Amino acid sequence: MKTESEKKAKPWGKVIVLGALSLASYLFLFKNESAVMELYTRGGISTAYPILTVFWFSFTHGAFASNLLSCLGIEAKSSGH
Amino acid sequence: MKKFVIAVLFVLFPILLSTAAMAAGGAGPSKDMLKGQILSVDAAAHTLLFEKDPTGEQLTLKLPENIAPEEVKLNRKVLVNLVHQEGEHQAEGEPSAAAMREIKDIEIMFLTMTLGRILALMGIGAIGGLLSGFIGSGGAFVMTPAMMSLGAPGAVAVASNMCHKFPKAMVGAYKRWKYGQVDIKLGLVMAVSAIIGVQIGIQIQKFILAAFGGAGSNLYISVVFLVVLVFVGGYIMMDAINLMKGSKAGDDEAKVCKLALTMQKINIPPMMTFKTAKITISAWITLPVGILTGMLAATIAVGGFIGVPGLIYVMGVSAVAATATELVIAFVMGAWGSFQWGLSGLIDIRLTVLLLSCSLIGVQLGALGTTYVKDYVIKLVMAATMLIVAVSRGAMVPSYLIDLGWVQPISPSTLSLLNSLSFWALISALVIAGGIIIVAMIKGMTAGKQAA
């Protein structure tokens, strides 16, 4: 008999889309490294840039990681503490 | 999810407002540190012309004897640490004392990214994230020294790790909230007093730096490390071992300790009920735990080593809920600290996102790992980490005592050995903690699949 997790479809689609988005973000940042570093280290109001950037990476890369773990069958125990 | 996002915004908005005020009040990077670029060097006078960021103000600074003029890199962003001076007395008509200040050292601000550095940052991030998701402590005590050993200046390492810590803590807290482990209300209440504690910790550090200099400050930090990690880590280890023995004898339940039971009986309003943590306690009891968390975070960069034991042994929260709730505190303090460091333009976003690339995976693994293990395993990992890091910091104490002139110098080979011991103890703390977590998770998952 299949377990509940096996019955759920694995979110490979989300993994691919989010993974691509995350990878594109990393490539964009490192391809424009000099400009990014110049802008992000000006101080003052430019503080917003690194803060917003890490939020972006948290949501895209974090969601990618979460879905990847689900696809690999690595999930939390169903009855918690 | 909606509740969680609202909680995040509720926290971030006042932080944004208060940061401006606090930055003006002197929190954040030291005033003996300048950021900018060196325009020219006068070899004959042994001085250089420095342009400050972002104002463009130009200063003439004195080079120390140990830096040769030809070693100085021009037109690259650098961090210049100045020799600390007491309050300046400037006579009328004389040039500003700041123009003649002496340099202690010059650091290139931003590393050149090599494949080795990228892989190292990803590896450090992975294990640090795993630890953070499991025991609620951010791993800053390893990540910051690790980034410095890769060549990042101390201030940039601290700033970049801070900016990595809060999103990682946010993701970890969200995952553990989904598992029903996070008490958001408790986390936010503790975070408020933790921020107060950080301010107190910073003032103490400034006093010690002014009174005893850099070596004295390093010694103070190491002594705090040792005292907290040895005593608190030792206590947690004993508790974990007793629980493990009890578990093998069939008694699985972690009992609330006598101190926490006493604290919960104190009936001084306002009394607060924390549903997920399953405690009702006076708000006054939460204050010292939160303040000490903040003070420790300001001193050794890991508030969780007091915060989590405080939640467990003073307030009576379970290890699972305590480590999960600590992530909320870590998120708030990390966000607040990031704003402050960001205002000074010291965050190297490349270091931050490279750490995040694997720590966001690690923190989620660590978080779900807590659903497979018993309470005592979490305590065991925390205690093991604390005790090994105590060895690491202890190994550095002799060098600080020598710098202060309190003990006779020892041979360079012995000093080098102690430095290596310190470094490898840090690495082993990560590896051992990571190993315990992964083994416990695999055992738990395998047992779960067999039962199914």
Cβ <8 Å between B109 and A29: no
With CA atoms as reference, the chain B residue closest to A55 would be B167
**pLDDT tier at A19, thresholds 50, 70, 90:** very high
Give yes or no for a contact between B293 and B197, defined as CB atoms under 8 angstroms apart. yes
Cβ <8 Å between A51 and B342: yes
Q: Which long-range contacts (CB under 8 A, 24 or more apart) does B91-98 make?
A: B98/B59
Q: Which of A46, A55, A74 sits opposite B167 (nearest CB)?
A: A55
CA distance B393 to chain A (A): 31
Write down how long chain A is.
81
Rounded to whole angstroms, how far apart are CA atoms B48 and B60? 6
Give the global pTM: 0.79
Phi and psi at B31, nearest 5°, equal -80, -10
Q: Provide, for chain B, the percentages of residues in helix, strand and coil under a 3-state DSSP scheme, each rounded to the nearest 5.
A: 65, 10, 25
With CA atoms as reference, the chain A residue closest to B364 would be A66
Q: Where are the domains of chain A?
A: 10-71
Which pLDDT tens digit goes with each residue over B415-431?
888 888 888 888 888 88
Q: Which of A33, A49, A62 sits opposite B360 (nearest CB)?
A: A62
Phi and psi at B57, nearest 5°, equal -65, 135
Does position B23 have pLDDT exceeding 50, yes or no?
Answer: no
Whether A62 contacts chain B with CB within 8 A = yes
CATH number for the region B33-83+97-108 comes to 2.40.50.140
User: A41 contacts in B (CB within 8 Å)?
Assistant: 35, 53, 77, 109-110, 345-348
Report chain A's C-alpha Rg in angstroms.
Answer: 18
What's the token pair of residue B367? 């978080």
User: B349 contacts in A (CB within 8 Å)?
Assistant: 29, 36-37, 40, 49-50, 53-54
Cβ <8 Å between A77 and B448: yes
Cβ <8 Å between A42 and B166: no
Rounded to whole angstroms, how far apart are CA atoms B64 and B256? 57
Rounded to whole angstroms, how far apart are CA atoms B385 and B258? 25
- Alpha-helical runs (H) found in B301-411: 304-309, 319-343, 349-369, 375-394, 397-404
* Predicted pLDDT of residue A81: 41
* Predicted pLDDT of residue A50: 94
Best of A38, A66, A78 to mutate (most B CBs within 10 Å, chain B)? A66
Instruction: Specify the 3-state DSSP secondary structure of B65.
Output: coil
Does position B452 have pLDDT exceeding 80, yes or no?
Answer: no
CB neighbours of residue B111 within 10 Å: 18
What's the Cα-to-Cα distance from A11 to each of A66, A78, B260, B402, rounded to whole Å? 10, 18, 44, 58
Rounded to whole angstroms, how far apart are CA atoms B31 and B52? 13
Q: Which of B35, B335, B371 sits opposite A76 (nearest CB)?
A: B371
The rounded mean pLDDT for chain B is 82
* Domain(s) of CATH 2.40.50.140: residues in chain B: 33-83+97-108
Does position A30 have pLDDT exceeding 80, yes or no?
Answer: yes
Residue range B341-367: mean pLDDT, rounded: 92
* Predicted pLDDT of residue A36: 93
**pLDDT tier at B372, thresholds 50, 70, 90:** confident
Write down how long chain B is.
452
Which pLDDT tens digit goes with each residue over B253-275?
566 788 888 888 888 889 999 99
* Predicted pLDDT of residue B93: 41
Sequence-ordered list of residues with C-beta below 8 angstroms from that of B88, at least 6 positions apart, any chain:
B97, B98
Cβ <8 Å between A66 and B175: yes
Whether B191 contacts chain A with CB within 8 A = no
Rounded to whole angstroms, how far apart are CA atoms B16 and B13? 5
Helices (H) and strands (E) in chain A, counts: 4, 0
Determine what percent of chain B is predicted with pLDDT higher than 70: 87
User: B163 contacts in A (CB within 8 Å)?
Assistant: 50-51, 54
**pLDDT tier at B206, thresholds 50, 70, 90:** confident
